[in-house]
Amino acid sequence: MELDKMDENDWKYHGEGNKSLVVSHVQHSRVLRLLKYPAEDSENAPQTPDQAFRHIQNIVDFSSSVMRPLLGEKFIHSGEVVRLPLEFVRQLSIKVQHQRPAWRCNKVMDIYSGCALCLPNLTLPSLHQSTHTPTLCIEIKPKCGFLPSSKHVSKEIKTKVCRFCMHQHYKVASGKWKRSSLYCPLDLFSGNRQRMHSAIKHLIEEPQNNFKIFKGGQCIYGDSDELLDLSSLLQHLRPYFLFGNNRFNSHMTNKAVLNNFIQVSSLNVLLSGGRGDGGGKGRSFCEASLLSRDRSRHGSQALPSDSVLSRILQTQMLDNLDIEGLYPLYRRVEQHLQDFPKERGRLQVDGPYGEAFLQKLQKCPGEDDGSVEFAVAKVHQYRVAMTAKDCSIMVTLVPSSEEEEDDEGLPGFSSSVSILDLDPKPFDSVPRQLRLDQKIVSYFLRTAAALPKGSVPRRGIYPAVEREDCTLLFHPV
């Protein structure tokens, strides 16, 4: 990529999150991730070019030096910071503006610094392709996979209903989403295939921003309301599963297509890696999950030790105090910095994120000795855990030839798994996280928890699939 010959016509809109916008190259398997700012700052850059460069370099350092050792080297692509011609960035911003979802346009792309993060395009991998069939890629944002057990938790409901399920009620009430999702992260992290299958099914049913499907690098499902057509999705997926025992069965049912897709794209890949001793058993039942009523049949099983889900879960569990137990420690650090502001560097409040930072949080003593060093290490652990709770898993599948199939008669795929969205969480975000936690729990206790179980009938996509009615139906909650 020749940075001095950048042409906006070589790039297209790929997607965006809360803090960055991503464009992909039309020919090469590369993406650029550019910072975003609130629209009111569009006339004045919040950061100088050097500050923006340092900001993105911190993301690279945090990903490579902190998250990679914790999550596993094979899953992480940290990328590199690049400086781009300002005119290219301005023209690119104009080009992609009309492709952005309206609800994301409260923020604008950074056109002042010329800095971006360059990464491989994981929806178009470099895996060897033995067929001409386009690559499939599934993006899953799994969220927090365990219930807190800290003695500092003040509301018992937090030990029974997971954060994601409680947050759904608050998000729908506040207008963030029109419909509530039945997905429960604890089902996905359970290691139980039936529960995991149900979790993926509910993600397909109501993706929000937690689930996307790409075909040949193009998002075909889950990016917006316009891409929530199950009939269209089935048309895309059906050719991939007319192999093996089904290769002569062009009348394969829609339900079978979706079941095979979930089995191949998610369960087989997410559960690969080592034996079942990676944790997860006995801690993961959310009372809001539809499967919680039959725990004897849908119990948790240990995740394979080196699986992507196990590595993410273990990192998430660095948050062993809960936000309620962490906040007093944050206040201890905050008070210390008010008294000794020059200590901010020594305590690595804003980085740098290297080996010393990782050692600081890994060697944190188990008991509070009253020191600011203990407090800051626990805050750092919490920040790392929050990054793991907000990461994305990319499952990329390259179809094998028609003659190849697995032990279950399903088509063979070459697969790769990666973890994205590993930005460090700001040190000073702890008070905001506490306020949000209190709002979510309070709202859930006032509303959803007061409803009798099963009082709100909600139907998923599978009855419609079984009837061969391929319209994705949503029902208000």
What digits encode the pLDDT tens for the residues 30-70?
Answer: 999 999 998 887 677 788 999 999 999 999 999 999 999 99
| DSSP classification of residue 264 | I
Q: What is the arithmetic mean of pLDDT over 95-115? A: 91
Contacts 24+ apart (CB under 8 A), 255-262: 255/462, 255/465, 255/466, 258/201, 258/204, 258/234, 258/462, 258/465, 259/197, 260/410, 261/237, 262/197, 262/200, 262/201, 262/204
pLDDT given for residue 22 in this prediction = 95
Label residue 44 exposed, middle or buried (CB < 10 Å: 0-12, 13-18, 19+): exposed
| DSSP classification of residue 405 | B
pLDDT given for residue 333 in this prediction = 98
Which pair of tokens denotes residue 369? 């000795």
Find the largest Cα–Cα distance for the chain. Answer: 75
| DSSP classification of residue 118 | E
* In the predicted structure, residue 394 carries a pLDDT above the cut 90: yes
Instruction: Using alpha carbons, list the distances in angstroms from residue 89 to 35, 96, 203, 347.
Output: 11, 11, 34, 36
Alpha carbons within 13 A on the beta-carbon side of 259: 12
pLDDT given for residue 398 in this prediction = 87
* In the predicted structure, residue 330 carries a pLDDT above the cut 80: yes
Q: Which range has the worst mean pLDDT, 22-31, 191-200, 338-347, 450-459?
A: 450-459
430-446 helix and 322-339 helix, angle to the nearest 10 degrees: 150
- Which amino acid belongs to residue 149? S
457: pLDDT confidence band, cut at 50, 70 and 90? Answer: very low
Phi–psi pair at 215, nearest 5 degrees? -130, 120
pLDDT given for residue 459 in this prediction = 38
Q: What is the arithmetic mean of pLDDT over 91-107? A: 91
- The tens digit of pLDDT for each residue in 342-354 reads 999 999 999 999 9
> Would you tell me how many other CB atoms lie within 10 Å of the CB of residue 455?
7
Nearest to 400 by CA among 276, 221, 240, 265: 240
| Residues 166, 185: Cα–Cα separation, whole Å | 12
| Calculated CA dihedral for residues 269, 274, 279, 285, nearest 10 degrees | 30
| Calculated CA dihedral for residues 217, 219, 220, 224, nearest 10 degrees | 180
- Residue 119: its H or E element: strand 115-120
Contact 392, 285 (CB under 8 A): no
**What ranges make up the beta strands (E) of 281-412?**
392-399
Q: What residue has token string 């729908």? A: 172
Domains of the chain from N-terminus onward:
3-120 (3.30.200.110), 136-316+388-466 (no CATH)
Contacts of 217 (CB under 8 A, 6+ apart): 24, 121, 123, 124, 135, 137
Q: Which range has the worst mean pLDDT, 207-211, 291-295, 410-414, 456-460?
A: 456-460
Label residue 311 exposed, middle or buried (CB < 10 Å: 0-12, 13-18, 19+): buried
| Residues 447, 461: Cα–Cα separation, whole Å | 26
pLDDT given for residue 267 in this prediction = 85
At residue 57, the 3 state secondary structure works out as helix
Contact 331, 307 (CB under 8 A): no
pLDDT given for residue 455 in this prediction = 40
pLDDT given for residue 414 in this prediction = 86
Q: What is the arithmetic mean of pLDDT over 360-389? A: 95
- Which amino acid belongs to residue 188? L
Contact 300, 190 (CB under 8 A): yes
Q: What is the arithmetic mean of pLDDT over 419-430? A: 95
Label residue 349 exposed, middle or buried (CB < 10 Å: 0-12, 13-18, 19+): middle
pLDDT given for residue 282 in this prediction = 42
Helix ranges restricted to H, 138-208:
163-173, 185-188, 193-205
- Sheet of 211-215: strand order equals 218-221, 211-215, 136-140, 392-399, 413-420
| Residues 269, 248: Cα–Cα separation, whole Å | 26
Q: What is the arithmetic mean of pLDDT over 295-323? A: 88
- The tens digit of pLDDT for each residue in 215-254 reads 998 899 987 777 778 889 999 999 888 755 544 455 678 8
Q: What is the arithmetic mean of pLDDT over 12-28? A: 91
